[in-house]
Amino acid sequence: MTTATPPHGLIFHHFHGAGHPKSQGSIAASTLRRIIEHYQEHCTLLQARDYLEKSRQGRLRPGEVCLTFDDSLRCQYDIALPELERLGLTAFWFIYSSVLTGKPETLEIFRRFRSEHFDDIDQFYHAFYRHLDDDPLGIRIREGLADFDPGAYLSALPFYSDGDRRFRYVRDRILGPGDYDRVMYQMIEVAGTTPERLARGLWMEAGHLRKLHAGGHVIGLHSHTHPTALARLDRAEQFSQYRENQAILERILGERPTTMSHPCNSYSAETLELLQRLGIDLGFCADMSRGMLSRLEHPREDHANIVDRLERGG
């Protein structure tokens, strides 16, 4: 990494510690600190509002980076925020809003189920496909995977294994939300737990967002229900996702958010047009593969890639 690297964000999701169990891809506070120190040494790590203002003015320079957190996760508030406060840093927090209205989303519920009820992710994948062997959907999946090339799917996200890519293809392209949710609810019932138990303590609440906002952090959009394939929704559904997201956050913060990140990196030219209509002037992707395409497509480096490089001495 050199200062020739285009301006970009560092993207963080899950953390373990402080009562939050370890899960696939999660990191500890010490790893976050190591990443920050590395970027402070090799790049210019900007405060969130400074990055936003420099972007608006077209003054961002190579080697300037910012911190970003996706998905409204309580573990970020409990584990990452204290580290940022000790270091005097602020970040972007991209929030999907359905969880703020008393409607828990299945994405994180299912993730917790995978983490807490299986020894590792491969054991879950085995159980998932075995469950589908006895379901009529199994035929559709076998046919859909007949010509599937894991190396060509989500190729911009190298931290995914072939098993991860196959599962996400089945979830997003073959099953779709309705059938996938049905299968997962069946597996949760068989395991003897409930979605309500799995949802406890997963997400931040409105008070957490107000504290972040008051502390100089920037709260932005991440859709209302976090569709894993938002670009496949029709125009009206996409607009509704972001308009509702923005309205809910504005009511909480007393200020209209003008930043966002694309959930699961899923968007289209139509999505970008709709975001402009909502007054969004800074958006982030989830990879570095295409550089800086537009003000709504700032690149980001995933913490999994950063950790891998640090462990290899890069």
pLDDT at 3 over 70: no
Reported pTM: 0.90
Residue 76 has pLDDT above 60, yes or no: yes
Same domain, 231 and 306: yes
Choice among 118-122, 131-135, 204-208 with the minimum mean pLDDT:
131-135
Q: How far apart are CA 280 and CA 134, in angstroms?
A: 46
For 230-279, the pLDDT digits (tens) are 999 999 999 999 999 999 999 999 999 999 999 999 999 999 999 999 99
Nearest to 287 by CA among 297, 301, 269: 301
Let me know if residue 74 belongs to a domain: yes
**Are residue 17 and residue 96 in the same domain, yes or no?**
yes
If you average pLDDT over every residue of the chain, what do you get?
Answer: 94
Tell me, yes or no, whether 236 and 303 share the same domain: yes
Cβ of 268: how many Cβ atoms within 10 Å?
15
Domain containing residue 40: CATH number:
3.20.20.370
**Same domain membership, residue 223 and residue 255:** yes
18, 137, 140, 151, 164 from 145: Cα distances, Å = 40, 12, 9, 13, 14
Are 29 and 76 found together in one domain? Answer: yes
Note whether residue 112 is domain-resident.
Answer: no
> How many domains does one find in the chain?
2
Domain final position from 152, 173, 192: 192
Whether 36 and 82 map to the same domain: the answer is yes
Q: Does 314 have pLDDT greater than 70?
A: no
pLDDT at 312: 82
Whether 184 and 224 share a structural domain: no
Are residues 50 and 142 both part of a single domain? no
Say if 110 falls within a structural domain: no
pLDDT at 24 over 90: no
- For residues 280 and 226, membership in a common domain is answered with yes
Same-domain check for residues 237 and 98: yes
109 within domain boundaries: no
Same domain, 155 and 232: no
For residue 79, give both structure tokens: 């584990």
pLDDT at 163 exceeding the cut of 80: yes
Residue 273 located in a structural domain? yes
Residue 299: what residue type?
Answer: P
Parallel/antiparallel/unpaired status of strands 44-45 and 8-12: unpaired
* Within-domain flag for 136: yes
| Residue 108 within a domain | no
Closest CA to 280 of 253, 254, 256, 252: 256
Q: Which of 192, 226, 251 is the last residue of a domain?
A: 192
Q: What is the 3-state secondary structure (H, E, C) of the chain?
A: CCCCCCCEEEEECCECECCECCCCCCECHHHHHHHHHHHHHHCEECCHHHHHHHHHCCCCCCCEEEEEEECCEHHHHHHHHHHHHHHCCCCEEEECCHHHHCCCCHHHHHHHHHHHCCCCHHHHHHHHHHHHHCCCHHHHHHHHCCCCCHHHCCCCCCCCCHHHHHHHHHHHHHHHHHHHHHHHHHHHHHCCCCHHHHHCCCECCHHHHHHHHHCCCEEEECCCCCCCCHHHCCHHHHHHHHHHHHHHHHHHHCCCCCEEECHHHCCCHHHHHHHHHCCCCEEECCCCCCCCCCCCCECEEEHHHHHHHHHCCC
> Has residue 3 been placed in a domain?
no
Q: Point out the domain boundary residue: 149, 168, 192.
A: 192
Same domain (yes/no): 221, 76: yes
Note down the domain range covering 133.
118-192
Distant-in-sequence, close-in-space partners of 235: CB < 8 Å, separation ≥ 6: 270, 274
Angle separating helix axes 235-253 and 269-277, nearest 10 degrees: 40
* Helices 176-190 and 121-133: angle between axes, nearest 10 degrees: 100
